[in-house]
Amino acid sequence: MGILDRFLERGVRSGTLELTRPDGSVKRFGKPVAGYPDVRIRFADAKAERQILTDPRLGAAETYMDGKLTVENDDIMGLVELLRANSRWDKGGELHEQSALKKVTGKLVTLVDGINKATSAKKNIAHHYDIGNELYNLFLDIEHMQYSCAYWPEENMTLEQAQTAKLAHIAAKLALAPGQRVLDIGCGWGGMAIYLAKNADVSVLGITLSEEQLALARERAQQAGVADKCTFELVDYRDLAARGEKFDRIVSVGMFEHVGQAQFAQFFKACGTLLPDDGVMLLHTIGRMGGPGATDAFTRKYIFPGGYIPALSETVAASEKFRIIATDVENLRLHYALTLREWYKRCVANREAIISMMDERFYRMWIFYLSGATAAFESGGMCNYQIQYARNRGTLPITRDYMGKAEAALPNR
């Protein structure tokens, strides 16, 4: 039995995987179990198998991207789900064992890669976000263009409703008052800033390092009739902090993942500088449910160069250094999995448009990325944290009731 066969024998017990090799031989793993997918894959050449054994995640991604690994019905989601569901993080499982050397190497590369200085941050952001607004229009929600975890108080909601609910959920935690000045760090296409300007009678400055996002955010604010309350700048948060401005509230959604492990302290130092003594901040970020880890090679190479998914422990430890008090923490757990499945569904429905816009290899890379992310939130160690911070322990009410009342008063569907 080959090395890959032994790995799959151990790794696929519930659900089935049928593997066809280039010589026509067929091997089956696992057994049918309700709730687990049944998947058929094929290797186009012998090199594909060796490539996967060298680095399972990167190798599987690249062989799939290059057409050396094909999945029946092109259901890469089913394959990734099958492998991850058989090794659930909650039950102590891992997708594959790593040597001590490889773990240390991965953490070292993550640390070096995460020295995300202002000079390299813009380039890293452009790698992912300046590939064209047209692509994101094909799968994000129509109204807000939110490229981050939605909030699903009801599972039968549409993506558009769930993203509106997310904005209300976050706005409620900011404890906003009319006339306040809000900073949105990593504002994307302006959805959060526009929502706050329209519904909370506040002025908002959104900052981004993506030129594509900046142009569309300004256009969308104009169309929404809030350009007088909602402005956007192409500026790094570190440079903004150096200008000496203050904001009553700071919100940052889906941006902390791009900061880089080595820059956590600089991020919170900047936030502390930007907040007055009675300031409040809401940080929404993908997180690890375990301790600190390392960015995998596929994500580092193709998706988020310079990025890192933080553990809650290292996030709070970094903020503690600058007298920023963590006043509330929520783990959204499965909400991002629901969001990612909707994005995946829309990308598959727009397959031809994406291939025409980019190419076949990009399309395969993109749905592999969405599939892997979905599995990580359903069965792996990933989640979403919303951490509320304050500079002063007396700034916010001493019970959480105000959040629910504020959320109910906002457009939340």
| Domains of the chain as residue ranges with CATH | 3-91 (no CATH), 107-409 (3.40.50.150)
- Residue 287 and residue 313 in contact, taking contact as beta carbons nearer than 8 Å: no
Query: What pLDDT sits at residue 304?
Result: 86
DSSP state letter for 69: E
Per residue in 114-170, pLDDT tens? 565 555 665 665 555 556 799 999 999 999 999 999 999 998 999 999 999 999 999
Query: What pLDDT sits at residue 112?
Result: 55
Bridge partner residues of 29 (DSSP): 17
The Cα 69–Cα 58 span in angstroms is: 13
pTM of the entire structure? 0.91
- Residue 251 and residue 282 in contact, taking contact as beta carbons nearer than 8 Å: yes
Query: What pLDDT sits at residue 239?
Result: 96
The runs of H, that is alpha helices, within 55-132 are 56-65, 76-85, 100-113, 118-129
Query: What pLDDT sits at residue 104?
Result: 47
* Residue segments in the chain with a per-residue pLDDT below the cut of 70: 1, 94-131
Q: Is the dihedral of CA 116, 120, 123, 126 positive or negative?
A: positive
Bridge partner residues of 253 (DSSP): 284
